[in-house]
Amino acid sequence: MPVANASLSLLSPTSSLLISGLIAGSYVASLYVARSSRLSFVKSSHQYHGERARRATERWRDDDDVIRARLKAALLSTCASCGVVYACVALGYDGSDRWIRALKTSFRLLGLDSRSHGYKSIFPNLLIPLLYSGPLTAQFLSSTLPFQSCWSYKENLRPIFTTWIGLRNFIVAPITEEVVFRACLLAVADLSGTSLYHKLFITPLWFGVAHLHHAYELYNKFGCTRSALKRAIMTCLVQMVYTTLFGAYASFLLLRSGSITPAITAHMTANVMGLPHPGWELRQHPKHNKLIFVAYFIGIVGFISASGPWTA
């Protein structure tokens, strides 16, 4: 499989592992450094069937002040991670212009090269929408797609840009996470001359493991019982699996296209759409089950078939 970035072999495998751990760990740790970004809970051993109600003295991850603090921390951590990649690249150059040459190489490794490939650069951004053909068809049948009768700019679009939850989930998190866990970690892997297999299937594990810190929050939300601990662990393990799988696909997009943009748009689309619920969609539209089945089939087959040609 052709890739856009050539390995430079400036780092040893051990150094690459340590720097990758530093980049991934610092992103998660940055969310807890400031007191304003930390979560706080009132301990409870009561058994809840679902997520309990938030108490007035608690600080949850969806509180506006917590989100504001964490977005600032994530942005700073992202810039610092890019700086680490730049410093590593600069070590491989000599001469008075080493920093300028290192900057150009860093931009290329991070998928930030501004060179355009014309209309072909659009295709990688369309793969995830193609995969969601089934859910999009169900939304069309429910008249909830943009500009349909049950869609509202005020309720469906504006909150993405005017609420802290919207900015976090659909704008800042996809951008910072892709730059850190895709661009920076793959750049470090490139600098150690690691294999394509490692880039596609090992490096994304950092992204999956980075989501395990949510277990603490879920454990407290579910009531701090043994049952709550099991639910928190199982939820985070499932989340780790699908975020790792998505990370592998996003890595594929970056390596094939040479740009971080398709990975970011894929991440944004996945966050907007969420996980598919074909069973619920079929129950909602019993008269259109065949149409929904066909849309899912076309989406999956089309996604697999187009992933190669559309990212070349």
Yes or no: say if 63 and 40 are a contact pair by the CB < 8 Å rule.
no
Give the whole-angstrom CA distance, residue 172 versus residue 160: 11
The one catalytic residue in 51, 58, 198, 211 is 211
Catalytic, 211? Answer yes
Give the active site residue among 177, 178, 267, 281.
Answer: 177
Q: What is the dihedral of CA 63, 68, 73, 75, to 10 degrees?
A: 130
Q: Is 177 a catalytic residue?
A: yes
**CA pseudo-torsion sign 196, 200, 203, 205:** negative
State the catalytic residues.
177, 211
